[in-house]
Amino acid sequence: MIYYINALKTDDNTAGPKAPNDIYRLTKEYNGKEIIFNPFPVNKGRLYQKAWLLSKGVMQWMKVFSSAKEGDVVVYQHPTYGIGLNAKLIPLIQKYKKAKFIAVIHDLESLRMGVQKGVEHNQELTDAADNKVLRCFDKIICHNDFMKKYLIEKGFEEDKLVSLEIFDYLTDAQMNNQVTDGLAIAGNLSKGKSTYIYELLKTNPNYKLNLFGPNFDKSIELGEKIEYFGSFKPEVLPGELRGKFGLVWDGESLETCSGNTGNYLRYNNPHKTSLYLASGIPVIIWKEAAIAKFIEENNAGVVVGSLLEIENILNNISEEEYVRIKKNAEQIGKKLREGYYYKKALEKCLEEDKVNE
């Protein structure tokens, strides 16, 4: 039996819950049984939160303890709240119930320092999440070979690590296969998160720019080639995207992906890459991003060192080359919409686990 822990989160027009929800859906296809963890009381004080973890948190793990039997598998999405508690209880369940645990990494907080509110002032907690908790697992599905290498350098056993390659993107949205002009940028459009967008707008780019997502500063005067389409739920966004390419970039600079968010691209799989490809749209991505290797190997986009290269690419790519790239993007997109990459990684974990029993 496969169990999967569903740490409930609220749905909104951001991509935050999309990847975890897709993992839940795909694990359920393996006759997985859901164990619900209630939402963490993020808006309460620290004393309340600690008391909540010691009562409600322990009770939730007792559901796992009482359900799991020898040979069962528990799928856990990392990071999940209750780091200290999780690090103590997972080994107990492994020891006394002989169950196996598989972690699916969404973020490595120790690498993403300062990107999310609260992370920058709690280095000890983020290190515990990525070291103490993750080391409990029998198998770990990490983003890609670059993240795998990083974890090996941190002392993780190589035979426990499986590379996902790219996140899947489940959607029933009707795809718009018609080629449209310009560059699509989707995601959190706030100035704090996506400073590079506002720097790009200052250059008055000589190509169409199609913006999708929440928190866009609508006080900005848009040029005739810039259009803001609004915010959509992640499940329907693939049917709404418009653009010849989709951009994967982060940080403050047009010249490179800078700062914590930029450095994080060297290790993680940005979910917007999956969004664009699931929509059948090729990507333009920073050449030093970890997932740029996947894009190059599958010829599903173009890698660049600077955003200043984009105008030349859009204006000069031949129709023949673009058709070839788009066809590859559509083929990968079909796999993403079917959950191909997670299923492959999960099956590898399950097969290797049987061999090692």
Q: What is the pLDDT of residue 14?
A: 47
Whether 261 has a pLDDT exceeding 90, the answer reads no
Output the pLDDT for position 115. 38
CA 263, chain centre distance (Å): 15
Task: List Cβ neighbours of 7 (8 Å cut-off, separation of 6 or more).
Answer: 20, 37, 39, 40, 77, 80, 81
Q: What residues pair up with 100 in beta bridges, in sequence order?
A: 73
The mean pLDDT of the chain is 91
The first and second tokens of residue 303, run together, are: 């890698």
Q: What is the pLDDT of residues 143-163, one digit of tens each?
A: 999 999 999 999 999 999 999
**Do 130 and 110 contact (CB within 8 A), yes or no?**
yes
- Whole-prediction pTM value? 0.92
Residues 162 and 140: beta-carbon distance below 8 Å: yes
Whether the Cβ atoms of residue 255 and residue 214 lie closer than 8 Å to each other: no
Higher pLDDT, 166 or 120: 166
Residue 120 CB neighbour total at 10 angstroms? 12
Whether residue 118 has pLDDT greater than 50: no
Return the structure tokens found at 210: 């199609």
Determine the pLDDT at residue 186: 97
What is the distance between the alpha carbons of residues 111 and 91, in angstroms, rounded to a whole number? 25
pLDDT per position as a tens digit, 180-212: 889 999 999 999 889 999 999 999 899 999 999
CA distance 150 to 130: 12
Band (pLDDT 50/70/90 cuts) for residue 357 is low
Tokens 């350098």 appear where?
153
Per-residue pLDDT, averaged over 70-85, amounts to 95
DSSP letter assigned to residue 106: S
Helix axis angle, 319-338 relative to 340-355, nearest 10°? Answer: 50
Q: Of 141, 185, 129, nearest to 166 (Cα)? A: 141
* CA distances in angstroms from 333 to 166, 177, 268, 340, listed in the order given: 11, 12, 19, 10
Domains of the chain, with CATH numbers?
2-168+339-355 (3.40.50.2000), 183-338 (3.40.50.2000)
Q: What would the two tokens of residue 307 be? A: 């955003």
Tell me the mean pLDDT in the region 47-63: 96
Summarised one tens digit per residue, pLDDT across range 278-297 is 999 999 999 999 999 999 99
Phi-psi region of 139 (alpha: psi -120 to 50; beta: other; left: phi over 0): beta
Q: Which of 193, 194, 175 is nearest to 241 (CA)?
A: 175
**More reliable by pLDDT, 76 or 42:** 76
The pLDDT-based confidence of 354 (bands split at 50, 70, 90) is: low
- Looking at the predicted structure, is the pLDDT value of residue 12 above 70? no
Over residues 212-254, the pLDDT tens digits come to 999 999 898 888 899 999 999 999 999 999 999 999 999 999 9
pLDDT, residue 352, reads: 75
pLDDT digit string (tens) for 308-335?
Answer: 999 999 999 999 999 999 999 999 999 9
| pLDDT band (50, 70, 90) for residue 9 | low
pLDDT at 223: 84
Q: Taking a C-beta distance cutoff of 8 angstroms, is the pair 37, 7 a contact?
A: yes
